[in-house]
């Protein structure tokens, strides 16, 4: 999966998230490439008419759920299972509305899943009133001003509000943590801790109803995963957060849903900052400074690790096929060919495309079978093993 920061990506995110930015359009991937990109997935979402029924952060159709506000996990297989289970409802609604049922090629399915996965990369709007209370109660007001209220030891956060994206918050809290710690000690302020939700509310308060500063659009799309992978090693994060073979000291940051959003990650870095600094000094590791772009790349690398977090089991997948798919996919009595003989189901994206293209199929006598994320992962593993065996 390759989320890229490009002009089109900025345009797409702005169009779907309500942020005004110019940018040229590009089409979905024209070739059959396995690379999955957020930008191309956004174009698939629009080209296939998904926005006619589904909104993204309030923009789009109201027939189905807002896809940016879905609760629960968003791994590749969770999204695939949700898509499959809702096919009967989608088919009925499309028929009622006279909508042509779109088909997906494997590369289009991969791009679309990448786009849907990254929709919760950014945080929902916070509660500005609660943020105002936190600004006072956690004594941020002692050093920082917001719209004329507060101290002058640190920068005026209201002036910086226009560029305060979650990535910028995470970067600032990491880079300035030592200076803030010294200032708090000098002021006799106890170092506060935060949750991701509290940071979200503080950010809402800092931004206010409408900032008077000109908007600065920074990192409104995911960073680059491969650059993040390289930075994870270059900045020596791997020294403490690598695998077991690397003598891991801190937690595995790529574990499933360890941090649900950028601000959850920022809060964890802030709360564990003193312990991390002490450990780095003990190991002779220089405390790295991070640019905002580097932070975006690092977070993308850590977040993308959860995309294919559900490893499938081929034996269980064979059982799912026998128990739930054989009603249609069992020659000669089945209406469709045996899945083991179907060509092209050799990648997760191809399997998802095939699931989606069942929109034109009709359920067998046993009704429409329900699948969970584990089932889809297992069936994918089984079909891939069968493809390798041929």
Which pTM was predicted? 0.63
Among residues 125, 150, 155, the alpha carbon closest in space to that of 18 is found at 125
In the structure, what pLDDT confidence band is assigned to residue 343 with cuts at 50, 70 and 90? Answer: confident
Spatial contact of 142 and 189, defined as CB atoms under 8 Å apart = yes
Tell me what pLDDT residue 162 has.
Answer: 52
Tell me what pLDDT residue 139 has.
Answer: 92
In the structure, what pLDDT confidence band is assigned to residue 120 with cuts at 50, 70 and 90? Answer: low
Tell me what pLDDT residue 266 has.
Answer: 86
Q: Which tokens sit at 102? A: 């779109």
Q: How far apart are the C-alpha atoms of 390 and 185, rounded to whole Å?
A: 67
Among residues 312, 310, 347, 356, the alpha carbon closest in space to that of 112 is found at 356
The per-residue pLDDT for range 219-269, each reduced to its tens digit, is 334 567 778 889 999 998 888 887 655 556 788 787 655 676 778 888 888
3-class state of residue 66 by DSSP: coil
In the structure, what pLDDT confidence band is assigned to residue 210 with cuts at 50, 70 and 90? Answer: very low
Tell me what pLDDT residue 301 has.
Answer: 81
The per-residue pLDDT for range 311-338, each reduced to its tens digit, is 689 999 999 998 998 878 875 655 677 8
Tell me the range of 186-195, 223-232, 339-348 where mean pLDDT is highest: 186-195
Rg (CA), the chain: 24
What average pLDDT does the segment 187-209 reach? 87
What average pLDDT does the segment 105-116 reach? 86
In the structure, what pLDDT confidence band is assigned to residue 193 with cuts at 50, 70 and 90? Answer: very high
Q: pLDDT over 70 for what percent of the chain?
A: 76
In the structure, what pLDDT confidence band is assigned to residue 218 with cuts at 50, 70 and 90? Answer: very low
Tell me what pLDDT residue 141 has.
Answer: 93
| DSSP state letter for 369 | P
Tell me what pLDDT residue 315 has.
Answer: 94
What average pLDDT does the segment 192-216 reach? 74
What average pLDDT does the segment 20-46 reach? 54
Tell me what pLDDT residue 223 has.
Answer: 66
Look over the chain and give the mean of its residue pLDDT values, rounded to a whole number: 78
pLDDT at residue 62 above 50?
Answer: yes
In the structure, what pLDDT confidence band is assigned to residue 11 with cuts at 50, 70 and 90? Answer: very low
Tell me what pLDDT residue 163 has.
Answer: 53
More confident residue, 349 or 246: 349
Tell me what pLDDT residue 248 has.
Answer: 65
pLDDT at residue 214 above 50?
Answer: no
Q: How far apart are the C-alpha atoms of 196 and 34, rounded to whole Å?
A: 34
Tell me what pLDDT residue 319 has.
Answer: 94
Q: Which tokens sit at 106? A: 């494997």
pLDDT at residue 20 above 50?
Answer: no
The per-residue pLDDT for range 39-50, each reduced to its tens digit, is 788 889 999 999
Tell me what pLDDT residue 364 has.
Answer: 67
More confident residue, 31 or 353: 353
Spatial contact of 241 and 251, defined as CB atoms under 8 Å apart = yes
């Amino acid at each position: 999966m390759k989320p890229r920061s490009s002009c089109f990506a900025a345009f797409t995110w702005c169009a779907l998230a309500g942020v005004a930015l110019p940018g040229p359009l590009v089409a979905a991937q024209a070739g059959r490439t396995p690379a999955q990109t957020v930008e191309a997935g956004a174009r698939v979402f629009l080209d296939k008419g998904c926005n006619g029924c589904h909104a993204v952060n309030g923009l789009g159709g109201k027939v189905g759920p807002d896809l940016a506000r879905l609760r629960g996990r968003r791994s590749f297989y969770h999204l695939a299972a949700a898509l499959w289970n809702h096919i009967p409802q989608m088919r009925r609604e499309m028929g009622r509305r006279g909508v042509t049922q779109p088909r997906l090629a494997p590369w289009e399915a991969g791009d679309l899943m990448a786009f849907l996965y990254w929709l919760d990369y950014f945080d929902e709007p916070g509660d500005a009133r609660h943020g105002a209370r936190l600004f006072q109660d956690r004594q941020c007001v002692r050093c920082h001003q917001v719209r004329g209220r507060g101290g002058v030891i640190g920068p005026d956060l209201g002036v910086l509000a226009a560029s305060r994206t979650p990535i910028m918050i995470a970067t600032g809290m990491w880079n300035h943590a030592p200076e803030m710690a010294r200032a708090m000690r000098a002021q006799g302020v106890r170092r506060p801790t935060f949750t991701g939700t509290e940071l979200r509310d503080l950010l809402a308060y800092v931004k206010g109803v409408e900032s008077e500063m000109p908007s600065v659009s920074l990192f409104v799309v995911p960073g680059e995963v491969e650059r993040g992978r390289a930075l994870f090693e270059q900045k020596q994060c791997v020294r403490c957060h690598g695998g077991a073979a690397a003598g891991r000291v801190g937690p595995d940051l790529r574990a499933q849903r360890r941090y649900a959003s950028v601000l959850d990650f920022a809060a964890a870095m802030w709360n564990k900052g003193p312990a991390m600094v002490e450990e780095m000094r003990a190991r002779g590791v220089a405390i790295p400074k991070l640019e905002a772009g580097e932070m975006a790349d690092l977070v993308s690398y850590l977040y993308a690790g959860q995309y294919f977090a559900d490893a499938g089991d081929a034996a269980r997948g064979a059982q799912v096929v026998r128990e739930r798919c054989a009603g249609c996919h069992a020659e000669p009595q089945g209406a469709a060919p045996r899945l083991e003989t179907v060509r092209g189901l050799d990648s997760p994206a191809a399997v998802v495309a095939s699931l989606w293209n069942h929109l034109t199929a009709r359920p067998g006598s046993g009704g429409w079978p329900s699948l969970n994320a584990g089932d889809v992962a297992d069936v994918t593993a089984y079909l891939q093993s069968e493809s390798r065996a041929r």
